[in-house]
Amino acid sequence: MTVSIAERTTALRRVGKALADPTRSAILLALLDDARYPADLAHELGITKQSVSNHLACLRDCRIVVAEPVGRRVLYEISDARLRHALHDLVDVVLVVDNSLDCAPDDDECAVTA
């Protein structure tokens, strides 16, 4: 099966949207270790359950995470083992790149820091 550039672009945009928000990034990092319940994520990350729920909905819509009912609760995890592996690799690569470049939080462009 051949995947078009348009399909690849759409897939990368979904991941980019997921990673663009610091809270969603933190949720994804927590989910890299193991599946979690929203209440546990809220406690671990120090944010409200409502905020976690909203971000998980976005990640679900982007097909980055999946939800599995467990009794009356819902357990969330990264949607695919290959995606989990890719996110682990992305974090590892980003940690070794040149730290003199910093993306400004309120700007779309990266700037060189002093």
CB count within 10 Å of CB 107 equals 8
The CATH number covering residue 44 comes to: 1.10.10.10
pLDDT of residue 1: 77
Domain containing residue 51:
5-87
**Mean pLDDT of all residues in 91-105:** 74
Identify each DSSP E strand in the chain by its residue range.
Answer: 65-70, 73-78, 101-103, 110-112
Rounded to two decimals, what is the model's pTM? Answer: 0.81
Of 95, 97, 76, the closest CA to residue 87 belongs to 95
**Angle at CA 31, nearest 5°, toward 25 and 34?**
160
Kindly state whether residue 17 falls inside one of the protein's structural domains. Answer: yes
Decide if pLDDT at 106 tops 60. Answer: no
Kindly state whether residue 93 falls inside one of the protein's structural domains. Answer: no
Counting the structural domains of the chain, the total is 1
**Mean pLDDT of all residues in 62-77:** 96
pLDDT one-digit tens code per residue, 33-52: 899 999 999 999 999 999 99
Kindly state whether residue 107 falls inside one of the protein's structural domains. Answer: no
